[in-house]
Amino acid sequence: MSLGLAAIYPEGAGDRVAISSRLRQEDGNEIQHPAPSTVPTSPPKAPLHEATMTQTFNNFNDAHPDLLPDDDPNTDMQKLSGTTIALTMASLCLSVALSALDMTIVTTAIPNIVASLDSVAGYIWVGSAFILGFTAVTPIWGSVADLWGRKPIILLALTIFLVGSLLCALAPHMDALIAGRAVQGVGASGMGVMVNTIICDMFSLRDRGLYLAITSIVWAIGSAVGTVLGGVFATRLDWRWCFWINLPIGGVVFVVLFFFLDLPSPNTSVAAGLKAIDWTGSLFCMGGSLMVLLALDFGDVTHPWSSATVICLIVFGLVAIGIFLMNEWKLAANPVLPLRLLASWSKAAAYFVFAFNAFVFIGITYYLPLYSQAVLSVDALTSGLYLLPLIVSCSLSAACAGVFIQKTGRYRVLMYAAQVLLTLGTGLLINLEFERNLAKLFVFQILTGIGVGLNIEAPVLAAQAATTVRDTAAVLATMSFLRSIATAISVVVGGVIFQNQMKAGNSALADQIGHDLASRFDGDNASAHVEEIGLLSTDQQVPVRQAYFGALRTVWIMYVAFAGLATVLNLFVSEYHLSDERNAVVLGVDRGNPDPSDQPGREADIPLETSGRQRDDNQQHTLRNRAA
């Protein structure tokens, strides 16, 4: 992922570029090339396909510097000191931890919040408001960061998050709390996108996988700790501490980032930046995603799926998203989501592998605790502990994947292994037993967790390697947006399948325990009345647990299907060279102007599986574009 050919073939990479002996300048004059050189190169850092050589790129660079970019993006990129990396990464990880905590910290505190604010009807919005705010604005953060730079935008996002936390902590009633949660979601969304973007700006393609894996581990740990911490605050202190805790930590993060985060700034004025924003695309993106997410929240909760409210929200939401995509394709000068990111099978496959894996992972983390509570008859805390093998294996494998990519420069072998393990682990969940068998439960989770962890960062790197440095923020924002949408849809689709299965088996259940009692576990009521299973007699518990067991088995089958679909899409992802050089970011209002890197035939890098002759032809075409 580079604007210069030097990043495609870095010094010592082992390949030489076959360059035609003549290129044409704009005035039509021919440029005579010196005789081919046979200067040897050092051993390769990454195993690239051999090509027939007539001249090394370095000699061509010396002979014709006018054909290369005037401003080499690597010349001003100095090596970061260990202190700078440590301080910056610590602050970024704390930002990620805050976002992850607030995703889950209120789940165990909701009963106390509802009792304190005396609003049973508003409980569902405490979590939903955060997700809605988080998802709706995610694609926009990448666009504004490209206009004004990374540092001011992450500080803005952190400020918004802290303001939302303060509103929640001081909320006198449920409406104020819901508003504060929405503000928190907006800020947390920006923090997530900016953390990953800053890491990608700080490190080369080859190195960034390790640091992105670190933030993924922090996210997983923060999400797991959030539920426990929320319960502690709610029972030992006060539920408002779920939000007060963000202020001192966030304040420290703000100070460290303000003084130590040293990133280039385009010095774009507020007026120029506001004029360059894709307002049409932003509004239709937010409106469309909000309508779809609201429909998913309303369905079978406050309104039936067949209600006019839910149907209209889905229809108009999809229409708005369609208008958004048309605007990005034809009209937007600085699109929120540049459709060139999806311009090939390889590029599109990387995004959807990432989204489908998120779909499977979040579904398993959501419904495995339901299996533990309803079928294995354990309490909520124990069901959370039973999920640790999945979380720990995912975190450790993500770290190992980051190290592997950094050492080898390869990622596709990880993607293949990951998808096999994910599909296998998810498929084995179908064979979970009715009675408690922790060995099976934990082993199946570990296989699934390794499969997810190995493939957390690889699709992101594949998408970045296939595009140019100017699209770094857009790639990450798009990935985050797809993950958020996939997360919301996964829980809803799994819930619909589970409820339908419980409803289908309710008549048989009624024959065993009576109609009145069976109605407590019918369809919509099944998830809400899990705790009542323990109050039944032993003879009544068994058929109820069997009903849950059978319904969840169908849910596992659905997630296996999506894991298999991701495995198929995985085959379309190309292996690109991961440069070990840092590239300068491209920022400002003029960043959307046509660039050689965006022209047809000019890839950010050439796939490693491309034949030697085709690589030579591609490079010749590239240099002709630069000379034109």
Q: What is the CATH number of the domain that holds 473?
A: 1.20.1250.20
Q: What is the pLDDT of residue 589?
A: 64
Higher-confidence residue of 43 and 609: namely 609
d(CA 356, CA 348): 12
Categorize the per-residue pLDDT at 426 as very low, low, confident or very high, splitting at 50, 70 and 90. Answer: very high
Phi, psi (rounded to 5 degrees) for 31 = -105, 125
Q: What is the pLDDT of residue 41?
A: 41
Report the 10 Å Cβ neighbour count for 514: 11
d(CA 362, CA 365): 5
The answer to whether residue 283 is domain-embedded is: no
Q: What is the pLDDT of residue 165?
A: 92
Once rounded to an integer, what is the mean pLDDT over residues 385-402?
86
Q: What is the pLDDT of residue 39?
A: 39
299 forms beta bridges with 303
Percent of the chain with pLDDT strictly greater than 90: 14
Number of domains observed in the structure of the chain: 3
Q: What is the pLDDT of residue 559?
A: 93
Do residues 286 and 324 lie in contact, with contact meaning Cβ atoms separated by under 8 Å? no
Once rounded to an integer, what is the mean pLDDT over residues 24-53?
38
The answer to whether residue 607 is domain-embedded is: yes
Categorize the per-residue pLDDT at 21 as very low, low, confident or very high, splitting at 50, 70 and 90. Answer: very low
The answer to whether residue 416 is domain-embedded is: yes
**Residues 471 and 554 grouped into a single domain:** yes
pLDDT in tens, 486-501: 888 888 888 888 888 8
Is 226's pLDDT higher than 80? no
Phi, psi (rounded to 5 degrees) for 586 = -115, 110
Q: For residue 350, what are the domain limits?
A: 343-580
First to last CA, the chain: 22
d(CA 136, CA 129): 11
The answer to whether residue 286 is domain-embedded is: no
Most confident of 39-48, 63-72, 496-505: 496-505
Higher-confidence residue of 65 and 265: namely 265
Instruction: Return the beta strands (E) in 246-340 as ranges.
Output: none
The answer to whether residue 330 is domain-embedded is: no
Categorize the per-residue pLDDT at 425 as very low, low, confident or very high, splitting at 50, 70 and 90. Answer: very high
**Residues 242 and 348 grouped into a single domain:** no
**Residues 89 and 235 grouped into a single domain:** yes
The answer to whether residue 302 is domain-embedded is: no
Residue 439, burial from CB neighbour count under 10 angstroms (0-12, 13-18, 19+): exposed
Once rounded to an integer, what is the mean pLDDT over residues 30-52?
38
Higher-confidence residue of 341 and 121: namely 341
**Residues 137 and 230 grouped into a single domain:** yes
**Residues 397 and 511 grouped into a single domain:** yes
Most confident of 63-72, 91-100, 349-358, 597-606: 349-358
Categorize the per-residue pLDDT at 239 as very low, low, confident or very high, splitting at 50, 70 and 90. Answer: confident
Task: Compute CA distances 139 → 142, 158, 278, 305, 485, whole Å.
Answer: 6, 17, 11, 28, 12
Residue 535, burial from CB neighbour count under 10 angstroms (0-12, 13-18, 19+): exposed
d(CA 282, CA 136): 9
Asked which of 54-68, 72-86, 254-268, 562-576 is least confident by mean pLDDT, the reply is: 54-68
Q: What is the pLDDT of residue 592?
A: 54
Categorize the per-residue pLDDT at 381 as very low, low, confident or very high, splitting at 50, 70 and 90. Answer: confident
H/E element, 174: helix 174-202
d(CA 353, CA 348): 9
Is 194's pLDDT higher than 70? yes
Report the 10 Å Cβ neighbour count for 236: 8
Phi, psi (rounded to 5 degrees) for 324 = -60, -45
**Residues 183 and 256 grouped into a single domain:** yes
Categorize the per-residue pLDDT at 443 as very low, low, confident or very high, splitting at 50, 70 and 90. Answer: very high
Is 482's pLDDT higher than 80? yes
**Residues 231 and 106 grouped into a single domain:** yes
Q: What is the pLDDT of residue 272?
A: 78
**Residues 264 and 361 grouped into a single domain:** no
The answer to whether residue 320 is domain-embedded is: no
d(CA 469, CA 502): 50
Higher-confidence residue of 377 and 104: namely 377
**Residues 562 and 507 grouped into a single domain:** yes
The answer to whether residue 131 is domain-embedded is: yes
Q: What is the pLDDT of residue 123?
A: 67
Q: What is the pLDDT of residue 163?
A: 95
Which of residues 277, 305, 330 is at a domain's end?
277
**Residues 93 and 58 grouped into a single domain:** no
32 forms beta bridges with 22
Q: What is the pLDDT of residue 160?
A: 95
Is 602's pLDDT higher than 60? no
Most confident of 49-63, 190-204, 515-529, 572-586: 190-204
Mean pLDDT of all residues in the chain? 76
Is 593's pLDDT higher than 70? no
Higher-confidence residue of 353 and 41: namely 353
d(CA 443, CA 420): 15
Report the 10 Å Cβ neighbour count for 537: 8
Task: Compute CA distances 68 → 4, 64, 467, 623, whole Å.
Answer: 7, 8, 19, 8
Alpha helices in 429-530 (DSSP H): 438-454, 458-465, 472-504, 506-513, 515-518
The pTM of the full predicted model, rounded to 2 decimals, is 0.73
Categorize the per-residue pLDDT at 25 as very low, low, confident or very high, splitting at 50, 70 and 90. Answer: very low
pLDDT in tens, 147-177: 888 889 999 999 999 999 999 999 888 888 8
Residue that is written with structure tokens 């096999």 in the block: 420
Is 8's pLDDT higher than 60? no
Do residues 314 and 295 lie in contact, with contact meaning Cβ atoms separated by under 8 Å? yes
Once rounded to an integer, what is the mean pLDDT over residues 452-471?
85
**Residues 441 and 490 grouped into a single domain:** yes
Is 545's pLDDT higher than 80? yes
Query: On the CB side of 388, how many CA atoms lie within 13 Å of its CA?
Result: 8
Which of residues 219, 243, 277 is at a domain's end?
277
Structure tokens that stand for 235 in this block: 């029972």
**Residues 163 and 121 grouped into a single domain:** yes
pLDDT in tens, 296-331: 777 776 778 788 888 999 999 899 989 988 888 888
